[in-house]
Amino acid sequence: MFDAVDTNARLLISAEVHEIESLYEWLCMDRGLARVAAVSPADSRDPSSMSTLELINVILTHVGAAANLALALAAWRQSRSDPGVVTVTRPDGQVLTIGGSAEVTSELIVAFLSTNAQEAVSPTSQQES
């Protein structure tokens, strides 16, 4: 499945305002992810927002990047007492919403990022239960 991941894909990750900075720092410090993806703050879609960081931009630069991103997000969610909801948006506009239990996060993200994600995940959103 990993060889079906679109390399050089730009993803947007969003989370609740009080969690997004923690998630950004976590992703930036993940050495495995740093080797295969570029993580940076993304411009807010809401110009009236007061928050300095609302979205995270991730560019996958290697076939293994999806697995590294999935593991990093899953580890961050497991480290939180209440991880809230994280949303991953693919370049084609498809959205994955992750909430609830953190156990299946990595498998769900890798499936969503694969090029045949339409078979693995609902095209508009998927709520993890």
Tens of pLDDT, residue by residue over 119-129, are: 444 333 444 44
Distance CA 38, CA 126 (A): 25
Torsion, Cα of 46, 82, 85, 106 (10° steps): 130
Low pLDDT (below 70) residues in the chain: 1-8, 44-53, 101-104, 115-129
pLDDT at 123: 36
The answer for residues whose C-beta is within 8 angstroms of residue 92's C-beta and 6 or more apart is none
Q: Which two tokens stand for residue 54?
A: 């609302």
Mapped onto helix, strand or coil, the DSSP state of residue 64 is coil
The answer for residues whose C-beta is within 8 angstroms of residue 67's C-beta and 6 or more apart is 2, 106, 110
pLDDT at 8: 61
Distance CA 25, CA 12 (A): 15
Distances in Å between the alpha carbon of 94 and those of 25, 34, 65, 97? 25, 24, 18, 10
pLDDT at 121: 40
Asked whether 127 and 97 are in contact (CB, 8 A), the reply is: yes
pTM for the model stands at: 0.74
At 35, which helix (H) or strand (E)? helix 31-36
pLDDT at 53: 58
Give the domain 2-43+52-120 fold: Alpha-Beta Plaits (3.30.70)
